[in-house]
Amino acid sequence: MKAFAALLERLTFSPGRTAKIALLRQYFAHQPDPDRGYGLAAITGTLALRTARPALLRELAAERSDATLFAWSYDYVGDLAETVALLWPDSAGGGMPGLAAVVEALQQTAKPALPALLAGLLDAGDASERLALLKLITGGLRVGVSARLAKVALAALAEGRASVDAIDEVWHAQRPPYGALFAWIEGRAPPPEASGAAHFRPPMLAHPLSAAEHGAITPALYRAEWKWDGIRVQIAAASAPARLFSRGAEDISAAFPDVLAAVDFNAVLDGELLIRHGERIASFADLQQRLNRKAPGAKLLAQYPAMVRLYDILFEAGEDLRPLPFDARRARLEAWFARIAPARMDLSPLVPFADFAALAALHAAARAEAIEGLMLKRRDSAYLAGRVRGAWWKWKRDPLRIDAVLMYAQRGHGRRGSFYSDYTFGLWREGVLVPVGKAYAGYTDAELLLLDRWIRAHTTARFGPVREVAPALVLEIAFDGAQRSSRHKSGVALRFPRIARLRMDKPAEEADHLEVLLRLLA
Would you please indicate which residues are annotated as catalytic (active-site) residues?
Answer: 227
Residue 365, Cβ density class (10 Å: 0-12 exposed, 13-18 middle, ≥19 buried) = exposed
Categorise residue 208: left if φ over 0, alpha if ψ from -120 to 50, beta otherwise. Answer: beta
Our CA dihedral for 219, 223, 226, 230, rounded to 10 degrees, sits at -150
Going by C-beta distance under 8 Å and a sequence separation of 6 or more, which residues neighbour residue 370? Answer: 229, 281, 283
Q: Which helix (H) or strand (E) holds 435?
A: strand 432-439
Q: Where are the alpha helices (DSSP H) in 225-367?
A: 257-260, 284-288, 298-303, 326-340, 356-364
- DSSP conformation class of 164: H
Look at residues 364, 362, 336, 365 and name the one whose alpha carbon lies nearest to residue 350: 362
Going by their DSSP bridges, the two strands 492-495 and 207-208 should be labelled as unpaired
Are 4 and 30 spatial neighbours (Cβ–Cβ below 8 Å)?
no
Dihedral angle sign, alpha carbons of residues 322, 323, 324, 326: positive
Residues 418 and 339: their CA atoms lie apart, in Å, by: 58
CB atoms within 10 A of CB 201: 24
3-state SS, one letter per residue, for 343-412: CCEEECCECCCCCHHHHHHHHHCCHHHCCCEEEEEECCCCCCCEECCCCEEEEECCCEEEEEEEEEEEEC
C-alpha dist (Å) from residue 498 to 161, 371, 466, 479: 43, 20, 19, 6
Q: Give 182's Cβ-side CA count (13 Å radius).
A: 22
How many residues are recorded in the chain? Answer: 522
Instruction: Give CA separation, 445 vs 11, 255, 386, 449, 450, in Å.
Output: 20, 38, 28, 6, 9
Kindly give, in sequence order, each residue whose CB lies less than 8 Å from that of residue 226, ignoring residues fewer than 6 positions away: 348, 349, 351, 366, 371, 372, 373, 374, 375
C-alpha closest to that of 295 among 261, 252, 262, 241: 252
What per-residue string of b and e applies to 474-497 under the rule 16 or more CB within 10 Å gives b?
Answer: bbbbbbbbbeeeeeeebbbbbbeb
